[in-house]
Amino acid sequence: MARKKLSEMAEEADRLDIEVKPRHKTGLHSRGRSFFSHNDALQSIAKEGTAELQVSTDDCRLWPYNDRIYADLNEENCKSLKEDIQLNTQLQPVVARKDPTGKKKYEIIVGTRRFWACQHISGKSIKIMLIEADEKQAYKIMRSENQERDDTSAYEKAMNANRVIEDIYGGNQKSYCLDNKIGEGTLSNWMAIADMAPEILAVVPNRLEISVKQATQIRSMINKTAKTKKAVLEKASTLKGSRLTTAQIFKELIEAGTGALSARKDKPTEKFYAVAGDVKGVQIKESKSGAISIKISKVAANNKKAVLKAVTEHLR
């Protein structure tokens, strides 16, 4: 009799209300089945014989393109997960593949927080679902799980997408969007975070709190004029060492840029310079866009040096 696929086994077990216990060659259990059946990317590449193994965390390393920042994990934000695993064991395996670099035996694609928790529990043992996947397949699996959980920050998504586009998609943003069903507008918003000026990132107390709205507002202000860019970056330098929150920092930066715009609009639209005794020897009109027009009186025209000096002074 032909062997059933894992997805068929899971569906049949759910339909008959049968408890499927963890076992080698299935990797299915009450919570694992749910993740498997809802993760289309994983289901599409999982083969017969996918194995569930119990291994040492010392034999594992994280896939470098996981979008959760491992360095930001700590006892505080992983406490409940760590306690749950200690009390109930690890109910859902992480998804891993054989490490293609050979640095470790396994490379974890999904389950960064579970990996951290298991590393910090006596015994340092972790349950993995071992699959075969190339880089693009691994990325789809990781994104699918994190989308369902929706617990990664905009900053993590942005920085990860930036690296994946560069390293896996050869810098081709369109190909990345099409392959992963991500709108180009969404990617553009993420890039507002990924491309944020280092002077700004340096004064943000918690990068994980940066929102897409804040990032796009700052990008708009930076790109508007040279004056608004200068105002924002100068403001950032004054905020170093402040005790402001992330939201307060961005509020201050946006207000600095807005202030620079207002100052430009408040400039006189018309100015006169005295030349050769004529108080209106040189008349300079300036539009809101910055374009200028110059009118020189007959008296002033006889003193070109003074006229040039007046214009130069205005431009300064």
Q: Which domain holds residue 243?
A: 196-266
The first and second tokens of residue 13, run together, are 């077990």
Cα angle, residue 222 at apex, residues 217 and 207 outer, rounded to 5°: 55
Each residue's pLDDT tens digit, 195-225 = 999 999 999 999 999 999 999 999 999 999 9
In this structure, the answer to whether residues 124 and 173 fall within a common structural domain is no
Alpha-carbon distance of 228 to 257, in angstroms, equals 5
- Say if residue 93 is in the same domain as residue 209: no
User: 3-class SS at 151?
Assistant: coil
Q: Residue 10 region, left (φ>0) first, then alpha (ψ -120 to 50), else beta?
A: alpha
Same domain as 279, residue 253:
no
State residue 233 phi and psi, 5-degree precision.
Answer: -70, -35
Q: What is the dihedral of CA 27, 29, 31, 37, to 10 degrees?
A: 60
Number of structural domains in the chain: 4
pLDDT of 41: 54
- The residue to which tokens 């959980």 are assigned: 149
> What per-residue string of b and e applies to 152-167 under the rule 16 or more CB within 10 Å gives b?
bbbbbbbbbbbebbee
pLDDT at 178: 94
> Is there a single domain that holds both residue 163 and residue 230?
no
pLDDT value, residue 150 = 67
In a domain, 1, yes or no: no
Residues 59-95 have pLDDT tens digits of 999 999 988 878 888 888 888 899 998 888 888 899 9
Query: What is residue 20's predicted lDDT score, i.e. its pLDDT?
Result: 39
Low-confidence ranges of the chain (pLDDT < 50): 1-7, 9-10, 12-37, 47-49
From start to end of the chain, where are the E strands?
A: 51-56, 60-62, 94-98, 106-110, 125-130, 270-275, 278-286, 292-296
pLDDT of the residue at 301: 86
Same domain, 87 and 126: yes
- For residue 259, CA distances in Å to 44, 84, 218 come to 53, 51, 13
Question: Given this model, what pLDDT does residue 34 score?
Answer: 45
Closest residue by Cα to residue 271 from 310, 316, 303, 309:
310
Are residues 64 and 126 located together in one domain of the fold? yes
